[in-house]
Amino acid sequence: MTTYVMLINWTEQGARNVRDTPKRLDGAKQLLKDMGGSFTAFYLTMGEYDMVAVCEAPDDAVMARFALSLGMTGNVRTQTLKAFPEAAYRELVSSLG
């Protein structure tokens, strides 16, 4: 599984209906599970982003479909970062020669 960090902001619509967000989060978790992935962590954050999710998915296409599906709801906008675990980071750096 590949790890992704998703930076999330509510849209105006999403913020207006903030009381529904726990239910929407449950739905997003189920959607990603149905796609073969999972949430490994979720945080409400202060600062530039409203929420941060750490997710795993089988590949980039699955994560892209998930992010697009979230965007289609009109409640959030996302930025998704592919994350390399420490072992992969060390391997990449050591391969630089």
pLDDT tens, position by position, for the chain (97 residues)? 999 999 999 999 999 999 999 999 999 999 999 999 999 999 999 999 999 999 999 999 999 999 999 999 999 999 999 999 999 999 999 999 8
For residue 49, the 8-state DSSP code is -
On whether the CB atoms of residues 83 and 4 are closer than 8 A, the answer is: yes
On whether the CB atoms of residues 6 and 69 are closer than 8 A, the answer is: no
Non-local (6+) Cβ contacts of 5 within 8 A are: 52, 53, 54, 55, 80, 81, 83
For residue 18, the 8-state DSSP code is G
The DSSP bridge pattern shows strands 2-10 and 51-57 to be antiparallel
